[in-house]
Chains A and B, each alone.
Chain A
Amino acid sequence: AQKITQTQPGMFVQEKEAVTLDCTYDTSDQSYGLFWYKQPSSGEMIFLIYQGSYDEQNATEGRYSLNFQKARKSANLVISASQLGDSAMYFCAMREASSASKIIFGSGTRLSIRP
């Protein structure tokens, strides 16, 4: 069964520093996709970045990059040069090709950026 684990319930980071949010996953599928979402205090879910299991390069989107280590089944989100607006909940999620489009989410990490 698919499973997503985020072991950091909360993190504090100084503004302008880089931060890594951990995500490990469990799947028996060879074909799957990994997602990261941001949820600010306003409540909306904002898509950040996607990594496919067959993608050879780590995904990047502006200040966001995904450190994909397939053998370790980890998909950590790296935010470079953090900003106050990065303070939010961050969720890792996975979809397996065999699961008919179900997407499963981790429990999230609350990131707080200190000025």
Chain B
Amino acid sequence: DAGITQSPRHKVTETGTPVTLRCHQTENHRYMYWYRQDPGHGLRLIHYSYGVKDTDKGEVSDGYSVSRSKTEDFLLTLESATSSQTSVYFCAISEYGGSSYNEQFFGPGTRLTVL
């Protein structure tokens, strides 16, 4: 199994508070991704990174920011959490990009509840 961990695994917070989720990999893969999973929507890409300090927005990036200061860590921050950000958050990594064969490995997920 690919070495991907997410912390925390579960979090309950209140509206308006800042929240940071961490994704840590031991595979030295270049690409890292944050997704959220909601019923009826599948997985939607929030932000992704193609290298240290290189990040870009996905399809649902509003209200989220990311940082990647080291290859192994990709942080997702909710500056002021809202109830609409209650979701399961998945981190994923991959070694190559483009259309070349390259599966994504997923972390175990973080269940976030915003009250």
Contact = CB atoms under 8 A, between A and B. Distances in A.
Interface stretch (A14-22, A64-72, A76-84, A96-104): A96-104
B105 A47 contact: yes
B99 A100 contact: no
Most buried by B among A32, A35, A102: A102
Nearest to A95: B99
Interface residues of B, number: 30
27 contacts: A29-B99, A33-B99, A33-B100, A35-B103, A37-B106, A44-B108, A44-B109, A45-B43, A45-B90, A47-B104, A47-B105, A50-B103, A52-B99, A54-B99, A95-B97, A95-B98, A101-B31, A101-B94, A101-B97, A101-B98, A102-B56, A102-B58, A105-B35, A105-B43, A107-B40, A107-B42, A108-B42
A94 to B, nearest CB: 9
Given A100-B56, A105-B44, A35 B104 contact: yes
A55 to B, nearest CB: 9
Interface in A1-55: 6, 29, 31-33, 35, 37, 43-45, 47, 50, 52-54
Interface in B76-103: 88, 90, 92, 94, 97-103
A65 to B, nearest CB: 16
Contacts of A6: 42
B103 A47 contact: yes
A104 B58 CA distance: 9
